[in-house]
């Protein structure tokens, strides 16, 4: 271990509930170096229990909440430990873990906005001995923000270009964009555009019992149905609502689709959901940074070739690339972002962008769960 290294771990499990992604990041090498990665698929039983609880179909919800918080905390801790073992790095050489947690409910509107992430950070700190920063979103909400998206500050630190207007599109369960104007006087903005993979994932699970549409192959065997597309876009005010805005599974899910499809074939619906996802992203990018020239795509959606093709087709004057072309593989961007956010907090620096979340001011995010040796 180099004495000059500055190691952090990021732990991410997003709304897709597919896996826990763990990234070991060294910030001593500018702007950062991914030292090691590890992904731990979520066991189907855990995933189903989470979805049942989130959909309010548990018979004993408080007990279920407590148990899942425990089980996920242990799963996060195990994943961090496996990452360290694979990288042959000692826990004492890691400054901190940034753990996003598993979102069970995100409700940024109404009289009492809240967002709920679980995966007990006490267990992560206790099991690994590493100081853990978690619960990032609620401080931004307490400052009047949406609590989301939080990745734009990281995107800006890593991907902003001095000559070219860029956008970063993160396609997880939901999709969010970060708009990075080249002009340093222009603010960085961003918001959730709506569904990412969630609608396509739900639809293929319903019809073919598969977790996702690999490469977008099934969808590309169908035809985009313009009337269905127009109906879906028109039916939901979310798409045209001005930022700040953020969303989750409570809003975009299987029921959202079922309420609106007619007699179209399942493949045609999948093709149309792919187009809806692409269009809602590109329309948002065009509307908020019209002279954008480059788009970097990250998150699991970057591996869906059909989706990328539709994004390209909708933005003919733009180069669409994977963030791998900008130095960071799509799968690890969000995990690395939470490693970076933990580092911001330990350095006493804010992690939110008020222009993005709508918070009244930049704030230090998260709560610190001390490891075996105090955080420095
Ligand atoms: N090869 C692939 N082809 C199509 N879609 C993929 C592929 N790999 C991953 N995905 C999509 O990415 C999703 C996971 O993306 P991820 O960024 O982990 O989302 P989240 O942050 O919500 O967990 C999967 O559910 C799937 O829809
Ligand atoms: Mg995931």
pLDDT tens for each residue of 329-369: 999 999 999 999 999 999 999 999 999 999 999 999 999 99
Closest residue by Cα to atom 18, ligand 1, is 300
Confidence (pLDDT) at 4: 87
Q: How many CA atoms lie within 13 A of 253 on its CB side?
A: 11
Q: Which CATH class is domain 7-147+331-369?
A: alpha beta
Q: Is 299 in the pocket of ligand 1 (CB under 6 A)?
A: yes
- Spacing, Cα 334 to ligand 2 middle (Å): 9
DSSP of 178-193: EEE-SSTTSPPEEEEE
The reply to whether 152-330 shares the fold of 7-147+331-369 is yes
- Would you place residue 374 in the very low, low, confident or very high pLDDT band (cuts 50, 70, 90)? low
56 class by beta-carbon count within 10 Å (0-12 exposed, 13-18 middle, 19+ buried): exposed
Q: Is 149 in the pocket of ligand 1 (CB under 6 A)?
A: no
CATH topology of domain 152-330: Nucleotidyltransferase; domain 5 (3.30.420)
Distance CA 189, CA 145 (A): 14
| Element of type H or E holding 270 | helix 266-288
Mean per-residue pLDDT, 7-21:
98
Distance CA 293, CA 313 (A): 14
Pocket test for ligand 1, best of 46, 199, 301 (most atoms within 8 A of CB): 301
Confidence (pLDDT) at 177: 98
List the chain domain ranges. 7-147+331-369, 152-330
- What share of the chain in percent tops pLDDT 70? 98
Confidence (pLDDT) at 35: 97
Name the residue among 113, 136, 111 with its Cα closest to residue 12.
Answer: 136
Pocket test for ligand 1, best of 10, 12, 18, 202 (most atoms within 8 A of CB): 18
- What share of the chain in percent tops pLDDT 90? 96
pLDDT top residue among 56 and 283? 283
pLDDT digits (tens, 9 = 90+) for 222-281: 999 999 999 999 999 999 999 999 999 999 999 999 989 999 999 999 999 999 999 999
Q: Which tokens in the block code for residue 51? A: 């979805």
Could you tell me the maximum CA-CA distance found in the chain, to the nearest angstrom?
64
Confidence (pLDDT) at 74: 98
- Spacing, Cα 145 to ligand 1 middle (Å): 27
Sign of CA dihedral 328, 357, 237, 294: negative
**Average pLDDT, rounded, for the chain:** 97
Confidence (pLDDT) at 56: 87
Distance CA 305, CA 41 (A): 22
Distance CA 2, CA 298 (A): 30
Confidence (pLDDT) at 142: 98
Mean per-residue pLDDT, 107-123:
97
Output the pTM of the full model.
0.97
């Amino acid at each position: 271990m180099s004495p000059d290294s500055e190691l952090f771990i990021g732990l991410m499990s997003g709304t897709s509930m597919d896996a826990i992604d763990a990234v070991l990041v060294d910030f001593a090498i500018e702007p950062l170096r991914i030292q090691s990665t590890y992904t731990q698929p979520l066991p189907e039983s855990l995933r189903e229990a989470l979805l049942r609880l989130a959909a309010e179909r548990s018979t004993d919800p408080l007990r279920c909440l407590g148990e899942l918080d425990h089980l996920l905390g242990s799963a996060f801790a195990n994943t961090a430990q496996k990452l360290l073992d694979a990288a042959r790095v000692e826990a004492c050489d890691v400054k901190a873990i940034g753990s996003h947690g598993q979102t069970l409910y995100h409700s940024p509107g109404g009289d009492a906005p809240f967002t709920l992430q679980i995966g007990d950070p006490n267990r992560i700190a206790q099991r690994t001995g590493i100081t853990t920063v978690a619960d990032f979103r609620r401080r931004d909400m307490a400052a009047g923000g949406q609590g989301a998206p939080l990745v734009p500050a990281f995107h800006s630190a890593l991907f902003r270009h001095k000559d070219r207007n860029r956008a970063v599109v993160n396609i997880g369960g939901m999709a969010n964009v970060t708009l990075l104007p080249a002009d340093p006087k222009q603010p960085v903005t961003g918001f959730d555009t709506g569904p990412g993979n969630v609608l396509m994932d739900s639809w293929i699970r319903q019809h073919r019992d598969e977790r996702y549409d690999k490469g977008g192959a099934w969808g590309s065997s169908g035809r985009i149905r313009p009337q269905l597309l127009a109906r879906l876009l028109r039916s939901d005010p979310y798409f045209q609502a001005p930022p700040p805005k953020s969303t989750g599974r409570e809003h975009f899910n299987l029921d959202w689709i079922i309420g609106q499809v007619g007699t179209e074939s399942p493949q045609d619906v999948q093709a149309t959901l792919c187009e809806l996802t692409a269009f809602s992203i590109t329309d948002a990018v065009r509307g908020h940074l019209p002279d954008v020239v480059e788009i970097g795509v990250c998150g699991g959606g970057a591996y869906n070739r059909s989706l990328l093709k539709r994004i390209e087709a909708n933005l003919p004057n733009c180069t669409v690339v994977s963030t791998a072309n900008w130095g960071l593989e799509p799968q690890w961007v969000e995990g690395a972002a939470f490693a970076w956010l933990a580092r911001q907090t330990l350095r006493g620096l804010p992690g939110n962008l008020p222009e993005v979340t709508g918070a009244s001011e930049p704030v230090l995010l998260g709560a610190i769960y001390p490891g075996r040796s105090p955080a420095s």
